[in-house]
Amino acid sequence: MLKLDAQALSDAHLRETLHERKEIYQGRLLRLREDTVRLPDGKLTHREYVVHPGATVVIPLFDDDHVLLERQFRYPVDQVIVEFPAGKLDAGEAPLVCGQRELLEETGYRASEWAYAGKLHLAIGYSDEVIHIFFARGLQGGERQLDEGEFLDVARCAIPDFLDACRTGLVTDAKTLACALWLQNAWEGKWQLAWQPAGSP
């Protein structure tokens, strides 16, 4: 039986090791690598993957059991997507600082308290992207500071309605669906959050 205790697991029989690395493409946001790796049985094979700077997603909570959501056109899938505020880490930027910046820029809101939920590996088959999940509460509205060329709508949504939208397929964004798991369990009091004042590490 598999025990999901990281301390008890030995991964040596599963681990692949780098043999040779080749940079295929360098863009403004992403890099593409092709690595030659040695498998646990000693054979060599290739792994192509996208190198991503990392990101933060924020679950903004209002006091009346509502959350703040965005609707934004996502070109690769050619549709408007419902999602939580999120954005990539700038070079050397802490995940919390990124979340605070993105929440303000995209929605105009600041939060007085923040709680770190955990991290999400978004696309483990072809990317090293890690998204850090934060909750934010004590929201105070203000002016948005959208980047040039950024267009999105912001709306409040009751938590039960949001969870139902996840169930029915209206919400398809992977990071937002992962956040829904955290939100439902925190809202129902099953998972605890360690809240810290804004500006705390």
Residues labelled catalytic: 148
> How far apart are alpha carbons 139 and 112 in whole angstroms?
7
Q: Tell me the DSSP string of 44-65.
A: EEEEEEEE---EEEEEEB-TTS
> How far apart are alpha carbons 138 and 142 in whole angstroms?
13
> How far apart are alpha carbons 157 and 180 in whole angstroms?
13
DSSP 146: P
